[in-house]
């Protein structure tokens, strides 16, 4: 087994995105003076869910891709999966903030989650085939 250097690099980039999202939620809490929950504030709720969605999907995707890389998976495939994951996780919040039922919402939010699902699914299948 080799050290998953590509996954580590892209994982670090994703951690920086996560920190930015965390700071965005904290800023939202400070400006609304809501320290716990969302108190019915829809804008704060969106921030919380964007952050939460990232936290729910990214670690599992990184784990699967990292295991694939550590087990000898091809670097081009690993890099492609991780680039798609980064793009997907940047698109998703853009779509979450877009107007309801707008093309931007469908393209970014929908595209972001479909791409995230694709990374998870493909990484899982690649691991099963190894």
Q: Tens digits of per-residue pLDDT, 23-44?
A: 999 999 999 999 999 999 999 9
Q: Is residue 10 part of a domain?
A: no
Looking up tokens 């809490």, which residue turns up? 29
Give Cα 1 distance to the centre of its chain. 26
What mean pLDDT is predicted for residues 111-121? 97
> ∠ CA 18-21-22 to the nearest 5 degrees?
85
Q: Is residue 9 part of a domain?
A: no
Domain that holds residue 64: 41-129
Q: Is residue 6 part of a domain?
A: no
Q: Is residue 87 part of a domain?
A: yes
Q: Give how many domains the chain has, as a whole number.
A: 1
Q: Is residue 28 part of a domain?
A: no
Q: Is residue 114 part of a domain?
A: yes
Closest CA to 22 of 50, 44, 56, 51: 51
Residue 87, Cβ neighbours under 10 Å: how many? 14
Q: Is residue 62 part of a domain?
A: yes
- Burial pattern 42-64, b for ≥16 Cβ within 10 A else e, equals eebebbbebbebbeebbeebbeb
Query: What are the pLDDT digits (tens) for 54-93?
Result: 999 999 999 999 999 999 999 999 999 999 999 999 999 9
Q: Is residue 19 part of a domain?
A: no
CA distances from 83 to 34, 101, 112, 119 (A): 35, 27, 12, 10
């Amino acid at each position: 087994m080799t050290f998953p250097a590509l996954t580590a690099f892209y994982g670090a980039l994703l951690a920086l995105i996560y920190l930015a999202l965390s700071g965005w939620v904290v800023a939202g809490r400070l400006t609304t003076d809501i320290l716990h929950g969302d108190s019915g504030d829809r804008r704060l709720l969106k921030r919380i869910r964007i952050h939460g969605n990232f936290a729910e999907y990214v670690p599992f995707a990184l784990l699967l891709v990292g295991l694939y890389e550590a087990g000898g998976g091809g670097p081009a495939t690993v890099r492609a999966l991780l680039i798609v994951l980064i793009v997907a996780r940047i698109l998703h919040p853009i779509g979450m903030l877009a107007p309801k039922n707008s093309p931007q919402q469908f393209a970014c939010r929908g595209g972001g989650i479909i791409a995230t699902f694709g990374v998870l699914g493909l990484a899982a299948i690649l691991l099963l085939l190894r």
